[in-house]
Structures are given as structure tokens and as C-alpha cells.
Amino acid sequence: MAATRTGRLHRFQGAWSAEEWYATGWIMSGTSVGTALVVVDVQNDFADPKGSLFVRGAGKVVKVVNGLVERARSEGWPVFYTQDWHPETTPHFAKDGGIWPVHCVGGSRGADFHPDLMVEGVSVKKGGAGEDGYSGFTMRDLVEGKDRPTELHSLLQERNIARVVVVGLALDYCVKDTALDAVRLGYQVEVPLDATAAVNLSPDDGDKSIAALRAAGVSVS
Ligand SMILES: [Zn+2]
């Protein structure tokens, strides 16, 4: 089943021949591996310069992600989206004892998808009951100190997905945690770096995240 990876994911925006797709390992010879695109938190508070937690570089990320959504559509791969979706009061927010400015309050403009994002799939909302929701797969109940799953894993299982491509915002938080959880759950995981951007609260957070992803077996390209 092993395929040689000679392709480059950042060529997504160009035209790909079937042979090139085989070369990436995304399509194994004779077998179509169930692949899904997981678009993490491309929401106004992260992707709009006026958002409360704007991630620099997000504008470019939206464009690259849209290219991947088009590619997924042409290949018949399902696309899943996640949305940070907080109540107005949550220990996730600095005003309530957490670390973040208020962001992505469910139903607010900040929680909406960026208007330029192509949305062609199911959205999984995380954090609605006041949990921390970095990973698209799990939320942490801050009161009970327990993790609880979102519906993303079962949605992927229903579609026989074996491989996920994780993109969106931000590399050093939700993309990283989603990708690491995906590995833990047994998926083959790819993170194309031109389809994500880091917050970099500390300047090397993005680089540390890339190292952690590679160490966990994620294909970072
Ligand atoms: Zn949040």
C-alpha cells in the first residue's frame, strides 16, 4: 500500500494529473483511500482583520483552503468544518478566568465563517457548553476536567475515512490539536502548511507545533 510521496501538497491550486495524485499517496494504486478535508475554525474572529483573535496570514489561508475545497469536490472527498462556538461566559475567556479575549460567541458575527470561505459540508461546533475546544475531535470540560468527544470522529467513520487533511486556523492551537487527535484516533494525517497560519504568541510556537506534529507522525508539507 505504501506509495512514494513525490508530490507536493502546495501544488493543490494547479491542475493535477491522476499520476501526480498517485504520487502523493493520496490515491493508492487500485484503491481509493477515504480522504476527508477538515477545515478548522476559519471564522471571522480568527480570519477577519477586525476579529478579536485575528491570525496574521489568515487572508491567504482562506484562498488556499478554498482551492483545497474545490479539489476535494472534484475528487468526491467530503469536507468537514469546525467552529469555535462559545457561550458568552466561559472559563475559556480571560474575563472569566481563562486566557483568551472574548471570541467566537455562538451566533455572533465573530463565530460565523469568513464570508470568503467556501462552505460545502457539515460544521462541527465545539465549546458550546463552556468547554475549551481546541481540537475538532474533543472538548475539555474545564469544571469537571474531563474530555468529551465532538461528533467529528463518528462523522468520519460513517464515511469510511482513513486519511484527513487538516487545514485552517490556527496552526499552533486548533489545527495542531485537531491533527494530533486525528493521529491518536488512527487516521493518517496531513497538514499542508500553506493552508494554515500560526498565532505565535511566542515567536516560535508555529515551529514548535510543526515539530510536535512531525514527531506524532503527521505529514507536514
Ligand atoms: Zn476558543
Cβ burial of 68 (10 Å; 0-12, 13-18, 19+) is buried
Structural domain boundaries of the chain? 4-220
Check if CATH label 3.40.50.1820 holds for domain 4-220.
Answer: no
DSSP string for 50-63: TSTTPPTTHHHHHH
- State the Rg of the chain over Cα: 17
Of the residues 45, 84, 126, 174, only one is catalytic, namely: 174
pLDDT given at position 142: 81
* CA–CA separation, 196 and 199 (whole Å): 10
pLDDT in tens, 160-203: 999 999 999 999 999 999 999 999 999 999 999 999 999 999 99
208 flagged as catalytic: no
Centroid of ligand 1 to alpha carbon of 75 (angstroms): 32
* Active site (annotated) includes residue 104: no
Cα 94 to averaged position of ligand 1 atoms, centre (Å): 11
Asked if 96 and 90 touch (Cβ cutoff 8 Å), the reply is yes
Largest CA distance in the chain: 55
- Residue 170 contacts residue 203 (beta carbons within 8 Å): no
**Residue pLDDT tens, the chain, 221 long:** 444 343 344 444 444 444 554 455 444 433 456 999 999 999 999 999 999 999 999 999 999 999 999 999 999 999 999 999 999 999 999 999 999 999 999 999 999 999 999 999 999 999 998 888 899 999 988 888 899 999 999 999 999 999 999 999 999 999 999 999 999 999 999 999 999 999 999 999 999 999 999 999 999 99
Concerning whether 125 is annotated as a catalytic residue, the answer is: yes
Q: Are 136 and 165 in contact (CB under 8 A)?
A: no
